[in-house]
Every structure is written in C-alpha cells, then in structure tokens.
C-alpha cells in the first residue's frame, strides 16, 4: 500500500514539474553590435535568417540609440530600460579626471539601476549571459562577460567555475577557447548553454560586425562577410531553441546598439584647447578637456563651477573657421538632459560631414580619417539600429516604424510577466496579437 501511495505521489510530482515546464516562457535576446535595419530590409545583404524573421514576426524600420550611441551605454540601457544618466554607464572608456589609463565600464556593480538579470533571478527564473558588456559578476547562472580591453580577466569572471575548460574540452575539443570575435564561435557556446540550462532569459552579444564596420565603413566585402557570419549565428541559436524543445514558448529578439557612419575626417578638439592654454596634458594640468566617444566629444571642466573657462571654450569654438565648424554640432545641456546623457559633462559635440573625434591634444586638430564610427547624437537614420522579434503571440510580418532601445526592456518584462517599475520603456503597439 505504501509503495502504491509513493508511486502515486511521485506521478503527481512529476506531472506538476512537466506542467510547470510546459508553462515556462523564455526570452533569448541577441544583439549584433553595429546592427543596421538595412541588413534585413534590403535584399543586397545575404541574410536569410534575418529576412525569415521579418516575414515570420515583427521588425522595426529604426531603433533610436542613446547618447553617445556606443556599445556599453547602449547595452546597459537594453537591460535596464533607462538612459545612461540613470544607469550610470556613460561611455565605453571611463572619463578619468586626472589621467588616461584606459579604464572601462565592465563590472555589474557599476550599473546604478535595476536590471532584467536581477529582476528575472528574483522571480525564480533561470538567467544566463554571453559576451554582454558590463556583466562581470552579474547575477546569472552562466556567464562569459565582455570585459573589453581587460580580456585577460574573462576566464576569472566566467562562471560557473571551470566553465571555460568545460567548453574547450566538450564543445571545441581544443586547448584554447576559440576567438569569440568570430560570431559562430559565440553562437555555438550560446547553443550549448541553451541546451544545458534552457534559460528563461538569456542575453547574447555578437560583436564582429562592429569591428569590420570600424575598418571599412558601412559597406565593403568585410562587412558583407561579417553580417553573413552574424546571420548564420542567429540560425545556429534558433536551431538550438528548437532542439531544446522550447521554441513554442520562446520569444527570440535580434537587435543592436547603434548604426554606423562613414568617416573621412578625424577631429581632435583638445588641440584647440591646448593651443588656448586650457590643456597642457591630461594628467592634472588642464582646465577643460574633451572626452571623445567616436562621433561625439563631451566637454569636462576641471572645476565644474569654472564659468570663465566654459565661456572661453564657447568663444573658442565660435571663432573657428567655417572649414572647421562644418564638422561640429553643439549638443546643449538641455538636449543632453532630455536624452539622458552624462550629467557631469558641460556640453557635447556631435560630428558632422564624415567626421569622428579623438582625444589627441598635440599636432593638427583636423586630419584625414577612414573607416566608420558611431557615437553620434542619435537623431538621424544612419545611426539607428534594428529590431526583429519572433515567437508565440508576435504578429506575423508586423512593422514598427520607430522605437527606442529602452523599449526592448519593456518587451522582455511583458513576455516574462515581470515587474520592474524603474524601466521607462514602452511595448510598441502592434507587436503582439
């Protein structure tokens, strides 16, 4: 009799587990660094997996980035639903008041707003992440973080403990972990993690497209090969979702962080400050300094209350020749506040006419440039990123005209039935049935 009761109870328990598993929802969120809407809206690009997502689900004509429109603040907005002024990750490389040592934002503790990772974990969901910026020590089950120039620390901050050796031995069968700059290597790891953990929420960052757009600009054979690699990587991940048996309960999002602009000129605005006696060197001897972020440069004062120096900088810029001014657009404090940019900067410049900015303070202020960049004030078509979404409840062949990066947070929250009051995003109308 006891045996029969035990078996009955076991069956009830197992059926409960099966029912729970059947009711689970999953969001797999992929970002392609430097992702542009034309990669899936225009036929010239060989991206069959992305084109298939357009027909099967929802796609956006354009997604507005943050300011500066660069990788780390953008990705942090995606997982927080707020702009940089609220989440605290203002750039890729940190502005260091009295040095230039190359510090970057990389640790989860640097994010000052609630995140999707923590919110999902607190709700008892399984959370994983791969190559995501500012994710070291994030509250997830599986993590290989993007630590930028501190790549020597990736293995130290990857977990669970020993996961790098596990992947080398079980997945790649090599002594070294293959280059994650090749997106298909990252896709294979993501597929492995999906099969192993069946995560309710996973963030995946693919970054090779950005690298080759920096080299070649918006077009070129290397960019074509890079987006084809990223497209195939999306296919690998989508197959893993099917193989894990969770396709019917999964929302797959493919998005990005920023678009790209072609570069023909390199502008070093600190040269002007140095010639005016406001910047002798960045290691303490300066009154005003620009901090460059690709297509933008943010002005910092040694003393924030130094209105005299601020006026001198403004007069200096106003006195530039027309040939110099044509590359500069001033972003006022009011515009900075409205878009949620770094509140510590006095104002910013956004580059025009094929220009990008650098941090040099010696030599000529204007030089020739090449390749491509981003970071510009995000109010024009070329700097918009893309968005694709497929899954149960998503309208087929739906088109979203315009949305913001922070809206992605709202979409994830809605699909997983989570609450995160700090998020300022909105679910685009027409996305779900």
Q: Does some domain include residue 43? A: yes
345/392 same-domain check: no
pLDDT at 149: 67
- Both 144 and 291 in one domain: the answer is no
Is the pLDDT at 11 greater than 90? The verdict is: no
Distance from CA of residue 21 to its chain's centroid? 31
Averaged pLDDT for residues 239-248? 98
Q: Which of 383, 326, 316 is nearest to 351 (CA)?
A: 326
Q: What local confidence, expressed as pLDDT, does residue 12 receive? A: 38
With a cut of 60, say whether residue 207 has pLDDT above it: yes
The reply to whether 36 and 139 lie within a common domain is yes
CATH number at residue 221: 3.40.720.10
> In terms of Cα–Cα distance, which of 176, 201, 171, 208 is closest to 189?
171
Q: Clarify whether residues 255 and 283 are in a common domain.
A: no
Phi, psi (rounded to 5 degrees) for 388 = -135, 145
| Whether 199 and 85 share a structural domain | yes
Residue 221 carries which DSSP code? H
Residues linked to residue 143 through DSSP beta bridges, in sequence order = 129, 159
Asked whether the beta carbons of 420 and 409 are under 8 A apart, the reply is yes
106 located within any domain: yes
Residues 112, 62 share a domain: yes
CATH number of the domain residue 279 falls in: 3.30.1360
256 and 269 both lie in a single domain: no
121/147 same-domain check? yes
Residue 139 and residue 233 in one domain = yes
Residue 32 covered by a domain: yes
Number of domains, the chain? 2
In this prediction, residues 293-314 reach a mean pLDDT of: 97
Per-residue pLDDT of 304-318, as tens digits, reads 999 999 999 999 999
Same domain, 269 and 328: yes
Confidence of residue 15 (pLDDT cuts 50, 70, 90): very low
Do 314 and 336 lie in one domain? The reply is yes
Residue 174 in domain: yes
State both tokens at 318.
């106003």
Q: Within 10 A of 346 (CB to CB), how many other CB atoms are there?
A: 18
- Cα separation of 40 and 228, whole Å? 11
In-domain check, residue 156: yes
Query: Given a cut of 80, is residue 238 above it in pLDDT?
Result: yes
Let me know the angle formed at the C-alpha of 8 by 6 and 13, rounded to the nearest 5 degrees: 95
Give me 300's structure tokens. 């910092």
Are the CB atoms for 208 and 35 separated by under 8 Å? Answer: no
354 contacts: CB under 8 Å, gap ≥ 6: 261, 262, 263, 264, 265, 369
Rounded to whole angstroms, the Cα distance separating 75 from 324 reads: 33
What percentage of residues in the chain have a pLDDT greater than 90?
Answer: 88
Least confident among 29-33, 145-149, 255-259, 312-316? 145-149
Do 213 and 283 have their domain in common? no
Cis peptide before 188 (omega within 30 of 0): no
pLDDT of residue 151: 67
Residues spanned by the domain of 338: 264-369
Please check whether residue 427 lies inside any domain of the structure.
no
Residue 6's Cβ-count burial label (10 Å; 0-12, 13-18, 19+) is: exposed
* Alpha helices per DSSP H over 160-265: 163-166, 183-197, 208-216, 221-243
Q: What is the pTM of this model?
A: 0.94
42 is a domain residue: yes
């Amino acid at each position: 009799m006891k045996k029969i009761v035990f078996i009955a109870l076991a069956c009830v328990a197992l059926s409960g587990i099966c029912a729970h598993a059947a009711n689970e929802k999953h969001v797999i969120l992929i970002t392609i660094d430097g992702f542009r809407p034309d990669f899936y809206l225009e036929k010239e690009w060989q991206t069959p997996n992305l084109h298939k997502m357009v027909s099967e689900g929802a796609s956006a004509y354009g997604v507005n980035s943050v300011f500066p429109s660069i990788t780390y603040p953008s990705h942090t907005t995606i997982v927080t639903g707020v702009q940089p002024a609220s989440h605290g990750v203002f750039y890729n490389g940190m502005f260091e008041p009295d040095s230039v040592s190359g510090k970057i934002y990389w640790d989860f503790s640097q994010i000052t707003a609630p995140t999707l990772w923590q919110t999902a974990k607190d709700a008892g969901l399984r959370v994983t992440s791969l190559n995501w910026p500012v994710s070291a020590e994030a509250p997830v089950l599986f993590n290989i973080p993007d630590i930028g120039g501190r790549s020597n620390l990736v293995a130290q901050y990857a977990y669970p403990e020993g996961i790098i050796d596990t992947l080398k031995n079980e997945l790649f069968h090599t002594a070294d972990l293959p280059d994650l700059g090749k997106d298909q290597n990252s896709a294979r790891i993501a597929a492995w993690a999906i099969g192993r953990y069946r995560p309710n929420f996973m963030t995946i960052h693919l970054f090779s497209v950005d690298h080759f757009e920096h080299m070649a600009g918006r077009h070129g054979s290397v960019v074509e090969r890079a987006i084809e690699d990223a497209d195939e990587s999306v296919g690998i991940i989508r197959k893993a979702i099917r193989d894990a048996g969770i396709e019917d309960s999964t929302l797959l999002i493919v998005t990005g962080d920023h678009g790209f602009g072609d570069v023909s000129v390199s502008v070093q605005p600190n040269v002007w400050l140095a010639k005016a006696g406001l910047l002798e060197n960045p290691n303490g001897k300066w009154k005003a300094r620009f901090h460059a972020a690709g297509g933008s440069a943010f002005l910092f004062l040694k003393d924030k209350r130094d209105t005299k120096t601020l006026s001198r900088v403004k007069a200096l810029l106003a006195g530039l020749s027309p040939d110099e001014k044509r590359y500069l657009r001033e972003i006022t404090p009011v515009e900075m506040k409205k878009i949620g940019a770094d509140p510590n900067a006095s104002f910013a410049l956004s580059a025009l006419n094929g220009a990008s900015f650098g941090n040099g303070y010696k030599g000529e202020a204007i030089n020739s440039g090449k390749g491509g960049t981003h970071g510009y004030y995000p109010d024009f078509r070329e700097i918009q990123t893309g968005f694709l979404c497929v899954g149960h409840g998503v309208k087929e062949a739906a088109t979203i005209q315009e949305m913001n990066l922070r809206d992605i947070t709202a979409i994830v929250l809605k699909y997983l039935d989570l609450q995160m009051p700090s998020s300022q995003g909105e679910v685009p109308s027409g996305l779900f049935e």
